[in-house]
Structure formats: C-alpha cells, structure tokens
Amino acid sequence: MIEQIGTGEAVVFWVCAVLSVVGALGLILSRRAVHSALWLALTMISLAVLYIANAAPFLGMVQIIVYTGAVMMLFLFVLMVVGVDASDSLVETIRGQRWAAIILGLGFGMLLTAGIANALVGAQMVGLDGPNSQYGGNVEGLARLLFSDYLVAFEIVAALLIVAAVGALVLAHREKWQPKLTQRDLAIQRVRTGLHPGNQPPPGVYARHNSVDTPALLPDGSIAEQSVPEPLRVRGDLRPVDTAAITETTELAEGHAADGPRDHPVADDPGSSPGEGR
C-alpha cells in the first residue's frame, strides 16, 4: 500500500516550508527578542499545517494550542518581565564563536541532510490511512497507543509536568529574610528617621486648578516644594504660580469681609481635592 503525495499537498508543503524557514531565519536574525518570538510563532503555525498535511491532525491542533498559544505566550510574558527593549549587542564576546558556529552549523546541516537524503532515496510512503481509520480516527488511534503501549511513559511524563510546575514555583520564589513590617512598624520607623513624620503637604489647589503639578503656597507666598510629587519636581514640570489669580482672589476675599473669613476657598468644591485627605 503506497501513498503518493498529490499536487495539493506539494503546494501546501512548499508554501509552508518556505514560511517556516523564513520564520526560523527571522528568529535567529532579529535583534529584538520580541521579533524573534513573533517569527517563531510563524514557524510553528507553518509546522502545524505541515503536521495536519502529514495525517496528524491531533498534533497539528496541539501544536497551535499548546505551542503557539501557551508556550509562546509564556515566552512573551517572560520577555515583558525581562524588558521588551532588551536587544543583543552585535559585538560577539567569545572570540571566533560566531564564525565557528556558522561553519560548524552549516557543516552539520549538510551532513544531516545528505545523510537523510542518502538514506531515503526511493523511499516508499506507507501512509496513515490504515492506522488512522482503524479505531475511528487519528485521536482515537493515538489515545489507544498512549493508554496501552505507552502507558508508563505517559504516567512518567505526567509526573514530570508536576515536578516542572513545582520547580518553577521554587525557582521563582523569593525568600523573606525578616518578618513583614506592620503599620505600626512603619510608623515607628518613620518617626525614628526624623524626616517629616506626617503626610506631605498636598498640592496647592485653587478654585481654577486641581492638577497635582500646582505647588502649594506657604503663608509668606513662597512655594512649598514638597507639595508636588518628586518626579514632576525633578523634571521641572511645576505649574507656575498664577499671581494674578491670587491677587484677584485676595481682593474678592477682602471685599466680602463681612461674609466671614474664607481660609479655604476650595473646601466646598468636592471635585477639586486631588491630594490625600487629612
């Protein structure tokens, strides 16, 4: 029983083969790791198609779901942790490594392909129509093998997955060297350091501004530096003090002195309270 490869499959093969080699080359030639991951995903999807073409629909699905879906997402996740921008420098640190690797790799590839081609010249393909249909389908056939001939290996692999999961937990675990600090401990620590013990002063908020980059004013009219978050301060993104508005407000307050003192002109404005409540 000899199965011949039809033209349709040949077309699929050549398309997917080219795509997968391009993806592989892209993987090793991209400078940025994210690009590599995306190229690899292309290769894997192409391979999934080839699996299906090779009468292995179950593996093709698993390839897409597990590899392209789960494993590649895991890779991308780790890449996000490590830093998306991380890219290799082009300078090779080990002398001669790159050229030796390329020459040896190509030599190895040639040996491999030559060996395979030599071994498979004139090979006849039996095909999987028989085995696949024996128990009603590819999945049923695989299941039968897995739970009969390969049962021990299957169980061992199950154990391996558990161990791998636990191992990942252990590796990623960070040991605590001292007891967790409570609120009380933090309070004591803050007082002991002698810095400003209470809350920082909130940003200066006036009737017309409620942005955190507005500095608060001290009684003498100067700026309270600490009222603005440090990154803004360092960047110099302080909103300049609108002296005209202040003067106007002061005049208004003096003009309506009979209405009573108004120390906090914005206190009644519920939407303009960006700082922490006191």
Partner 1 sequence: MIGNGAIIAADVAPILEPSSAATGIFAWIWLLIALPLAGAIVLLTTGRWTNRFGHLIGVATVVIAAGLAIAMLIEMMGRSAEARSFEQTLYSWVFAGQFQVDVAFQLDQLSMVFVLLITIVGSLIHIYSIGYMAHDPDRRRFFGFLNLFVAAMLLLVLADNYLLLYVGWEGVGLASFLLIGFWQYKPSAAAAAKKAFVINRVGDVGLSLAIMLMFVTFGSVTFESVFSSAGGASDSTLTWIGLLLLLAAAGKSAQFPLQAWLLDAMEGPTPVSALIHAATMVTAGVYLIVRSNAIYDKTVFAATTVVVIGVITMIIGAVIGSAKDDIKKALAGSTMSQIGYMVLAAGLGPVGYVFAIFHLLTHGVFKANLFLSAGSVMHGMNNGVDMRRFGALRAVMMITFGAFMFGYLAIIGIPPFSGFYSKDKIILAAFEQNTIVGISAVLAAGITGFYMTRMFTMTFLGKARWDDDAHPHESPPVMTIPLIVLAIGSLGLGASLYYWGDIVEWLAPVTGYESRPIAIPTTVLEAITLVIVLIGVAIAVLMYGKSVPIEPPQKVSVLTIAARNNLYDDATNDIVAVRPTWYAARFLVWFDNRIVDGAVNASAAFVGGASGRLRRLQNGFTRSYALVMVIGVIVVFGVLALVGLS
Partner 2 sequence: MNPENYIILSGVLFTIGAIGVLVRRNAIVVFMSVELMLNAANLAFVAFARINGNLDGQVVAFFVMVVAAAEVVVGLAIIVTVFRSRRSASIDEPNLLKY
Binding string to partner 2 for residues 135 to 154, with x set by CB under 8 A, is what?
A: ---x--xx--xx--xx--xx
Integer angstrom CA distances of residue 265 from 212, 223, 247, 261, 277: 17, 18, 13, 10, 16
Per rule CB under 8 A, is residue 15 in the interface with partner 2?
no
Q: Which amino acid is at 264?
A: H
Candidate residues 115, 130, 167, 197; the one interacting with partner 1 per rule CB under 8 A: 115
In the complex with partner 1, which residue's Cβ is closer, 116 or 218? 116
Per rule CB under 8 A, is residue 90 in the interface with partner 1?
no
The count of chain residues that interact with partner 1, using the rule CB under 8 A, is 14
Q: Which stretch binds partner 1 (CB under 8 A): 8-16, 56-64, 76-84, 95-103?
A: 95-103
Element (H, E) at 245: helix 243-255
Longest distance between any two alpha carbons in the chain, whole Å: 108
Q: Which amino acid is at 167?
A: G
Candidate residues 107, 130, 197, 229; the one interacting with partner 1 per rule CB under 8 A: 107
Catalogue the long-range contacts made by 50-59 (C-beta closer than 8 Å, 24 or more residues apart): 50/12, 50/13, 50/16, 50/17, 50/20, 53/9, 53/12, 53/13, 53/16, 54/128, 55/127, 55/128, 55/129, 55/132, 55/138, 56/128, 56/138, 57/138, 57/139, 58/138, 58/139, 58/142
Candidate residues 25, 151, 218, 252; the one interacting with partner 2 per rule CB under 8 A: 25
Partner from partner 2, partner 1, none binding residue 113, C-beta < 5-8 Å depending on class: partner 2
Partner from partner 1, partner 2, none binding residue 27, C-beta < 5-8 Å depending on class: partner 2
**Residues 192-211 within binding reach of partner 2 (CB under 8 A):** none
In the complex with partner 1, which residue's Cβ is closer, 100 or 125? 100
Partner from partner 2, partner 1, none binding residue 45, C-beta < 5-8 Å depending on class: none
Number of alpha carbons in the 13 Å side-chain half-sphere of residue 59: 14
Catalogue the long-range contacts made by 234-240 (C-beta closer than 8 Å, 24 or more residues apart): 237/213, 238/213, 239/209, 239/211, 239/213, 239/214, 239/215
Per rule CB under 8 A, is residue 102 in the interface with partner 1?
no
**Residues 117-176 within binding reach of partner 1 (CB under 8 A):** 118-119
Per rule CB under 8 A, is residue 100 in the interface with partner 1?
yes
Per rule CB under 8 A, is residue 111 in the interface with partner 1?
yes
Query: Contact positions toward partner 1, by CB under 8 A?
Result: 93-94, 97, 100-101, 104-105, 107-108, 111-112, 115, 118-119
